[in-house]
């Protein structure tokens, strides 16, 4: 089937589409970086004017309007995110005025929102409820959450005037082993646990093989042309993690240890003949079990990395942050974590994915 593409840019006011924005001939770029405090950004040049839904010319309020790029494939619209302009530069010529825009997902709003006084929470409140209350206080009401029964072990007054809502929310999420806050392609806040890179958690499959169109699993796979670089640090990467939480308000010091004893892992204690220890001190954590999960996650993440795989696909929606993906090709296969992705928003443009392959079960 021939793929027909179109890209348009909705203008949002108070979260509602009210107009259309137009880029210049220069491509607009979208970028996701899982290690950034703000996960997804947009950069490009637009005309400094827009039209409303009736086709009437309107002015853009660059201080409060949001931009929603939309990818249309074979007549079906796919939102690619909702972005808040953070830096604008006007360029005026004899014929037109353009604006260079650097914009970020709605994490920008939370990083820009700061406490006016110290913040206090009572003990035994659910972490998820506390986080949700912070989001709504900052004006974020569209939230998708995975519930957790973790509660604050003691009353908390850790934060002072000037601290950002984003930093507080991410601290609380880390204490229950959730991903840092991110916003999906519809601009909805996502509160979800970190997922281990295992087969049951795979979200997307990349392949360069010819697909069997009678097999539903193969039909849904994403076609790629892989360019692969590999580098694994087997010398300094820890294979033992000791996590310590010694908050004075708790009944005592909590310690959790995770060790890589997988004989098929080149980073394991047995394969390297020694322990390489990393000690991590945490100011707070939900419970002993949460501390052990934190240590296990550090160990799992240490077994990822060093082996970087870059692949290209057509423009796609539905890619989040820190997702588990699989790659299968004649040259390489395995389970990966998506470290970053970027798109050049032009008709026929490409999406570049940077993956880190799980270093497990190697002969």
Whichever domain contains 320, its CATH number is 2.40.30.150
Asked if 320 and 213 sit in the same domain, the reply is: yes
Give the whole-angstrom CA distance, residue 315 versus residue 175: 35
Q: Which of the four pLDDT bands, split at 50, 70 and 90, describes residue 360?
A: very low
Q: Which of the four pLDDT bands, split at 50, 70 and 90, describes residue 3?
A: confident
Checking if the pLDDT of 128 tops 90, the result is: yes
CATH number, domain with residue 115: 3.55.50.10
Handedness of CA 286, 292, 297, 298 (dihedral sign): positive
Checking if the pLDDT of 339 tops 60, the result is: yes
Give the whole-angstrom CA distance, residue 6 versus residue 74: 9
Asked if 280 and 226 sit in the same domain, the reply is: no
97-123: per-residue pLDDT in tens? 899 999 999 999 999 999 999 999 999
Q: What's the whole-number average pLDDT of the chain?
A: 87
Asked if 11 and 81 sit in the same domain, the reply is: yes
Asked if 93 and 48 sit in the same domain, the reply is: yes
Q: What is the pLDDT of residue 216?
A: 52
Q: What is the pLDDT of residue 211?
A: 65
Residue 39 lies in a domain: yes
Asked if 13 and 91 sit in the same domain, the reply is: yes
294-325: per-residue pLDDT in tens? 999 888 777 765 578 889 999 999 898 989 99
Cβ neighbors of 218 (< 8 A, separation 6 or more) are 207, 211, 212
**What are the φ and ψ backbone dihedral angles of 239, each rounded to 5 degrees?**
-120, 5
Domain residues for the domain of 24 are 5-105
Q: What is the pLDDT of residue 362?
A: 28
Structure-block tokens of residue 64: 């409060």
Domain boundary among 288, 303, 318: 303
Cβ neighbors of 255 (< 8 A, separation 6 or more) are 242, 243, 244, 245, 291
Cβ neighbors of 43 (< 8 A, separation 6 or more) are 28, 29, 31, 101, 102, 103
Give the whole-angstrom CA distance, residue 58 versus residue 177: 45
Structure-block tokens of residue 60: 């853009």
Asked if 204 and 352 sit in the same domain, the reply is: yes
Give the whole-angstrom CA distance, residue 220 versus residue 225: 16
Q: Find where tokens 């000037």 sit.
A: 162
Q: Of all residues in the chain, what percent carry a pLDDT higher than 90?
A: 57
Q: Which of the four pLDDT bands, split at 50, 70 and 90, describes residue 228?
A: low
Give the whole-angstrom CA distance, residue 251 versus residue 270: 36
Asked if 51 and 164 sit in the same domain, the reply is: no
Structure-block tokens of residue 99: 């604006």
**Segment 246-251 mean pLDDT:** 64
- Nearest 5 degrees, angle CA 278-CA 260-CA 203? 100
Checking if the pLDDT of 172 tops 60, the result is: yes
Asked if 15 and 65 sit in the same domain, the reply is: yes
**What is the enclosing helix (H) or strand (E) of 77?**
strand 76-79
Q: What is the pLDDT of residue 361?
A: 36
Asked if 266 and 123 sit in the same domain, the reply is: no
Specify whether the CB–CB gap between 70 and 79 falls below 8 A. yes
78-97: per-residue pLDDT in tens? 999 999 999 999 998 888 88
Q: Of all residues in the chain, what percent carry a pLDDT higher than 70?
A: 90
Number of domains within the chain: 4
Q: Quick check: helix, strand or coil at residue 13?
A: strand
For residue 351, list its beta bridge partners.
Answer: 313, 343
The pTM assigned to this predicted structure is: 0.81
Checking if the pLDDT of 359 tops 60, the result is: no
**What are the φ and ψ backbone dihedral angles of 271, each rounded to 5 degrees?**
-70, -35
């Amino acid at each position: 089937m021939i793929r027909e593409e179109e890209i348009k840019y909705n203008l949002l006011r108070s979260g509602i589409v009210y107009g259309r924005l137009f880029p210049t001939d220069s491509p607009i770029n979208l970028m996701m970086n899982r290690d950034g405090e703000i996960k997804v950004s947009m950069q490009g040049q637009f005309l400094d004017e827009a039209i409303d839904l009736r086709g009437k010319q309107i002015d853009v309020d660059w201080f409060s309007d949001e931009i929603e790029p939309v990818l249309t494939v074979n007549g079906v619209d796919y939102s690619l995110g909702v972005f808040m302009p953070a830096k604008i530069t006007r360029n005026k010529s004899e014929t037109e005025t353009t604006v260079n825009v650097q914009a970020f997902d709605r994490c920008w709003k939370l990083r820009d929102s700061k406490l006016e006084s110290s913040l206090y929470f009572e003990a035994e409140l659910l972490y998820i409820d506390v986080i949700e209350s912070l989001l709504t206080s900052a004006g974020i009401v569209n939230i998708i959450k995975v519930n957790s029964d973790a509660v604050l072990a003691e009353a908390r007054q850790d934060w002072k005037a000037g601290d950002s809502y984003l930093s507080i929310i991410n601290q609380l999420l880390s204490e229950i082993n959730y991903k840092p806050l991110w916003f999906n392609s519809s601009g909805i806040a996502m509160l979800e646990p970190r997922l281990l890179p295992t087969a049951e958690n795979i979200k997307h499959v990349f392949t360069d093989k010819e697909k069997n169109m009678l097999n539903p699993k193969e039909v849904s796979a994403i076609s790629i042309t892989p360019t692969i670089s590999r580098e694994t640090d087997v010398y300094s990467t820890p294979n033992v993690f000791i996590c310590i939480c010694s908050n004075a308000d708790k009944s005592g010091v909590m310690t959790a240890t995770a060790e890589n004893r997988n004989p098929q892992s080149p980073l394991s204690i047995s394969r390297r003949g020694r322990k390489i220890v990393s000690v991590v001190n945490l100011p707070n954590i939900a419970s002993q079990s949460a501390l052990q999960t934190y240590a296990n996650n550090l160990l799992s993440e240490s077994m990822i990395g060093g082996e970087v795989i870059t692949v290209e696909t057509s423009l796609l929606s539905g890619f989040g942050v820190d997702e588990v993906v699989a790659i299968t090709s004649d040259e390489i296969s395995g389970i990966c974590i998506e470290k970053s992705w970027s798109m050049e928003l032009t008709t026929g443009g490409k999406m570049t994915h940077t993956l880190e392959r799980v270093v497990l079960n190697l002969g």
